Structure 1
Amino acid sequence: MSKVSNRTKIAAALVGVLALAGSNLVAADPLADVQKADGQIHADAAASQKKVDKFFDQAQDMLFEYGTVADERESLKAYNDYVATLVADQEASMKAIQDDINGVDKLRQGVVPLMFKMVEALEQFVALDLPFNTQVRKERVENLKNLLSTAEVTLAEKYRLILDAYSIEREYGNFVAVTTGQLNLDGKDVLVDFFNLGRVALYAQSLDQKTGWMYNPETKGWDTMDESHLRELTKGIRIARKQGALDLFALPIPAAETAK
């Protein structure tokens, strides 16, 4: 065999080896690409999972916040309903108060004349009644008359004081009292004990207990009592002063048809 032929065989063998090596290299590249792609897929999947987990956590937080807001809304709604009820009640009260205020003027127009009539009636009553505590009672009436013309005292206070005066006069009908004072008889003052049996009768007795008088509402004067009644009068005065034991005593009284 010639040298050319041997070289040709060697060259052919080298080409074959190179061709085989080239084929292996070509086969290895797709596998690497697949592995690389698979790794990228796993990386992308992990990244996507992280995003999903993040979005899920955010969704859970938002759901919790929504529940909290919903609860607060219900609480606020209940509170607003309660406040609305209070406001409605207050508005009703304010309207009632305003109606009362609007009626004050009308009430004042009716009360003021009534108070003047009450004081006038009280003055007449004191003048016609038995003459006991006369000075005090007249001064009380006079004070009420002056009070009605005073702007510094409220209408309610004026009315209250008038009612107090009436209450005092009412209590006079239930009391028994003895006071020492001057009794004018025929222009002469005599020191006596006045014995007051409410509004039933008024008596007077000299301090020596020898003379007694009974007030006559019809004549507005004093009638001398019979001596037979002096002892009973003394007894009544002692009981009223708590100087004697409680007991019955008999005294004449003005006739019912003549008493004022």
Structure 2
Amino acid sequence: MKIYRCSLLYFVLMMSSNLLAESPGKVTGSVVGVISVNSQQHTAGVYNPASRLSLEYSELLAELDVAVDYNHKIQKKLALQEGQLLSLQQQLASLPNIEKNIYPLIKRMQGSLEHFIAEDLPFRLKQRQQSLRQLDKDLSSESLSLSQKYHKLLSAYKKEAEYGHQLQTYQGGLSSNSSQVNFLVLGRVAFYYQTLDGRYSAKWSEGSSKWIALSVKFNDEISKAIDMASGASVEQLINFPMLGLK
């Protein structure tokens, strides 16, 4: 390659010397142009280590920035988790005191529920008293956790609360003579019964805690309400006897 370039250069110089006499300015410009182009091509092909190192250094700096940012995010996440762990440890440490205070509260709520049912209208009384006995058994059980006992107590309260906005009917026996009748419960507002033949109706008096016979004119209204509560008829306006129980 060097021999070829030297030969080419020699040829150019020879041609230039032959043409120098004819056109000195034109030949000089041509020779300089050839030499300049050849010099630029040679320089472009030379390997530059400094440029390569500068590029690698820039890439390493970019990777370092990414690593530092990621490490900062991890540190923040770890700090947050450590704070949450400390909070959980403090809550666990205070758990015995919480249980110590909650259990007496549960017993007071149980007593309040028992008193409420005893003073309430005596509908489904045997069923509700049986539920109270089962609740007492559950709250005294060592196999149930405190949270399970609390859940059962709340379930009992919820069931009693639902009775307050229900129109319900069921068959049962009178405590006086055990004869079967249809009971009608109007929330916690009123409690009635009617014989199965529909000829006799009565309302529970909370003041005297006994049944008061209703006038026969209310038999049809009570019958309609019983049918409506059992789903045998559509909802309709009922004239419930509330006062004037003679």
Task: Name stretches of at least 5 consecutive residues in structure 2 with no aligned partner.
Answer: 1-45
In 1, distance between residues paired with 2:96 and 2:112? 25
Tell me if the contact between 1:216 and 1:254 (Cα under 8 Å) persists in the aligned partners: no
The offset of 1:144, in angstroms, is: 1.8
Q: Rate the CA distance shift 1:144–1:245 in 2: closer, same or farther, 3 A.
A: closer
Q: 1:250 aligns with which of 231, 239, 243?
A: 239
In 2, distance between residues paired with 1:253 and 1:162? 33
Q: 1:231 aligns with which of 217, 220, 223?
A: 220
Q: Rate the CA distance shift 1:243–1:74 in 2: closer, same or farther, 3 A.
A: closer
The offset of 1:147, in angstroms, is: 1.5
Residues 1:192 and 2:190 are matched in the alignment: no
Deviations 1:101-158 (A, max 9, x none): 2332332222111111111111111121111122222222222211222232222222
In 2, distance between residues paired with 1:127 and 1:215? 15
Aligned pairs, number: 199
TM-score, structure 1 normalization: 0.68
* Paired residues for 1:119-138 under 5 Å: 119-138=110-129
Please identify, of 128-137 and 62-71, the stretch whose mean Cα deviation from structure 2 is larger: 62-71
Deviations 1:25-50 (A, max 9, x none): xxxxxxxxxxxxxxxxxxxxxxxxxx
Describe the SS at the equivalent of 1:248: coil
Question: Aligned residue for 1:207?
Answer: 196
In 1, distance between residues paired with 2:212 and 2:141? 43
Tell me if the contact between 1:201 and 1:254 (Cα under 8 Å) persists in the aligned partners: no
Describe the SS at the equivalent of 2:211: strand
The offset of 1:225, in angstroms, is: 1.9
Deviations 1:197-254 (A, max 9, x none): 1111111111111211211223322222222322322222222233344332323337
Describe the SS at the equivalent of 1:219: coil
In 1, distance between residues paired with 2:100 and 2:194? 50
TM-score, structure 2 normalization: 0.71
Describe the SS at the equivalent of 1:189: coil
Tell me if the contact between 1:147 and 1:153 (Cα under 8 Å) persists in the aligned partners: yes
Letter in 2 for 1:130: L
Residues 1:241 and 2:213 are matched in the alignment: no
The offset of 1:191, in angstroms, is: 1.1
Question: Aligned residue for 2:109?
Answer: 118
Question: Aligned residue for 2:160?
Answer: 169
Please identify, of 157-166 and 196-205, the stretch whose mean Cα deviation from structure 2 is larger: 157-166
* Paired residues for 1:1-260 under 5 Å: 57=49, 63-185=54-176, 188-253=177-242
Letter in 2 for 1:84: Q
Task: Name stretches of at least 5 consecutive residues in structure 1 with no aligned partner.
Answer: 1-52, 256-260
Q: Give percent identity, aligned residues only.
A: 28
In 2, distance between residues paired with 1:71 and 1:150? 65
Q: Rate the CA distance shift 1:254–1:133 in 2: closer, same or farther, 3 A.
A: farther
